[in-house]
Amino acid sequence: MNLSLNLIAMQTIVRKEVVRVLRIWVQTIVPPAITMTLYFIIFGNLIGDRIGTMDGFDYMQYIAPGLIMMSVITNSYGNVVSSFFAAKFGRHVEEMLISPMANASIVIGHVAGGVLRGILVGTLVTVIALFFTDLRVEHPLVTISVLLLSSIVFSLTGFINAVFARKFDDISIIPTFVLTPLTYLGGVFYSISLLPEFWQTLSLANPILYMVNAFRYGILGKADISIAVAYGILIFFSVLLFTVCLALMRRGIGIRE
C-alpha cells in the first residue's frame, strides 16, 4: 500500500475517532470537567486556604497544572483503550488487519483520537481553573510540547492495554491499580521537596512526576525536577511504546489469537 493510500486510511481512522469523541461528548468531555471542578472546590477553596502557599504560589495556583495534566493523562489513556478494545470486541479490527493498511496507520489513527480527547479535556479544565485562580503561561512551548508528548505516551499505553484485554473488566485494571496511584503520587498535590529524602528518591522513579512537573514549569516556571530529564523520559517512552505497539500488531497478539 503506497504512502498516499496509507495517509487516507489513517485520516479515516482519525476522523472516526474525532466523531466518536464529539458525538458522545456528554460521556467523553463533561464528566472529567465536573470531576476536576470538584477537585478545585475541595482542594483549592476548602483546603487550600489552610495550607497556604507552596513553593511561593497559592495552593490553588500550584495544583492547577497538576490537575490539568491528570485530566489529560486519564482521558488520553481511557479514550484509546476503550476505542480499540471496542474494535476488537466488535471484530471490525479484523477488517483493518486484512486490508493493506500499515500497522503504523492503525496505531497513529487511534493515538490521534486519544490526543484529541486529552487536549479537549485539558483545555476545558484550564478554562475552569481560571475561575478559581490566576494562571499565566511562563513557557508556552514547554507547556504545549509536554502536553502533547504526555498525551501521546498514555494514548500508546492505552493501546497496549486494549491489545492484551480479553474482556471489558481488563481495560479498568491498569487505570485502577497502576495509573491512579502513580498519578496521585506524581506531585499533583504537593512538592516532593516536602518529603523525606528516601521518599523523594523513590518518587523519582515515577514517570508521571516528570510530566506533571514539566507541565507545571511551563505554566508557573517552577519544577522539582530537571526539564531536560523530563523531555528525555517523554521522548524515550513515546518511541519505546510506539515500537511495542507496532510489534504487537505485527505479531497479532491479543487480536489473532
- Say what the pLDDT of residue 46 is: 72
- Cα 201–chain centre separation: 24
- Say what the pLDDT of residue 153 is: 97
Residues of the chain with pLDDT under 50: none
Interatomic CA distance for residues 2 and 210, integer angstroms:
39
H or E element that contains 113: helix 103-129
- Say what the pLDDT of residue 122 is: 93
With cell 484509546, the residue in question is 80
- Say what the pLDDT of residue 1 is: 57
- Say what the pLDDT of residue 257 is: 56
Q: pTM here? A: 0.92
- Say what the pLDDT of residue 247 is: 93
